[in-house]
Amino acid sequence: MKHVIGIDLGTSAVKILLVNQDGNVVQEVSKPYPLIQEKVGYSEQNPQDWVDQTVAGLSDLLMNFNGDPESIEGISFSGQMHGLVLLDEHNDVLRHAILWNDTRTTEQCQQIYDVVGEERLLEITKNPALEGFTLPKILWVKENEPAVFEKARKFVLPKDYLRYKLTDELHMEYSDAAGTLLLDVGNKEWSEEICHLLEINSEICPPLVDSHTKVGNVTQEVIETTGLANTTAVFAGAADNACGAIGSGILEDGKTLCSIGTSGVVLSYEASGDKDFQGQVHYFNHGAPNAFYTMGVTLSAGYSLSWFKDNFAKEETFEELVADVDSVPVGSNGLLFTPYLVGERTPHADALIRGSFIGMDSSHERKDFVRSVLEGITFSLNESIEIFRNKGKKINTIVSTGGGTKNEDWLQIQADVFDATIIKLSSEQGPGMGAAMLAAYGSGWFDTLQACADTFLKVDKEFKPVKENVVKYQQLFDIYKDVYKQTKSLNDRLATYR
């Protein structure tokens, strides 16, 4: 049987999946690597760690594989977005990579607005200037490490550097390029205008390719180290959120993904790049051909629940913590939670806002608080869905992944709050599966990514909205949205005391 490999280069580890033609995961390997945090707000990694651990993981996988290495027809990638890897004229790394969660670049974001203009930036890149994006990092190095920047001849993102080290071919694909603030998202080309205005040589931008493009084969050195065959093709891959969308079947209009991890993401398929969300949500090129996706982010999604557990139910499992929420009515008996534990992203890009329990009284029990946390997280995610719908998007089916699928009561809450059918997949591999699907599609196994999804992805359960609950949650959602307005000034004043 034929196989492909999906490599998911995350922030804390690389995850490698060996997937067969039926979409079954034959093997799974994970290899960790460290963060480098020299100062508050700094987050870096050594790119060589990515390479070493990926090669080690591939070696382990091949060592335990009983089939013919030549049956592994393709490899593709998912990767952490926005990270900056600067290369010299020999494509050697000039400094540690600055990661997506590095926050040192506030001044550079303001500089981008001052020089390019906020409105013009949104017209070209479809996204606001945020500290996590790549362009502010480039400007930071230019201003603070001029000797390093002077040697820079190319920049790439994390998975692109890893792919280069496996193939000796240097490219960037559109879904990751869209998160740099240097791509003209609608026209799928580097913005000469932004480069010129910020005095960056546009030649620093690498060649652009589609996510399913074959960019080369593994090098002889990699073959000898890992046991891979020289016939194994390497495909460009996509950003982690784009691969997560592919791996969840978000490949046509009406399909939306709700992914609840530490943070939460609501991601919706877009057939074109011409909608105007005024920067309220992220707007990126998809890993699927000629498609786009919009995305809203809740910073403290699953983290809100883990925070509550760690502080009020430390000795219990998550299953025990949420066991009684079905006995609590919609609205948690008048208790409302806002999940702003570390600030918020969508629709409020507000670093100072903090969470609240509103409506506490002496009748409330712990199970009321637990349900209110689940509802509050879901309300926050619904703010992104509301933005999409207000722009004319029809959202009728939502694939739920991550921690939000671990409890069926929470899945029903999602169906009722979102007023949409919630789908739980039988096997959830997310970005790694999306990368494997790009390799399968690139290898010619399927005519379309949708056909690949039809084979690889299986539905476990569906949760339909209950009309009575939908009405109640719409009323509660209006109250939820008022909490931000009512508490913003209070939290600004309290910030002095943190």
Residues that are catalytic: 240
The span from the CA of 316 to the CA of 338, in Å, is 23
3-state secondary structure of 367: helix
Which helix (H) or strand (E) segment is 154 a member of? strand 154-156
CA distances from 424 to 186, 249, 384, 388 (A): 32, 12, 20, 22
Measured in whole angstroms, how far is the alpha carbon of residue 425 from the centre of its chain?
18
Instruction: List the one residue out of 304, 336, 333, 338 whose CA is nearest residue 321.
Output: 304
> If phi over 0 gives left and psi between -120 and 50 gives alpha, with beta otherwise, what is residue 149?
alpha
Residue 490's identity, in one-letter code, is L
- Beta pairing, strands 214-217 & 233-235: antiparallel
Measured in whole angstroms, how far is the alpha carbon of residue 325 from the centre of its chain?
29
Question: Using H for helix, E for strand and C for coil, what is the string for 15-28?
Answer: EEEEEECCCCEEEE
Phi/psi for 55 (5° steps) reads -65, -40
The span from the CA of 192 to the CA of 86, in Å, is 19
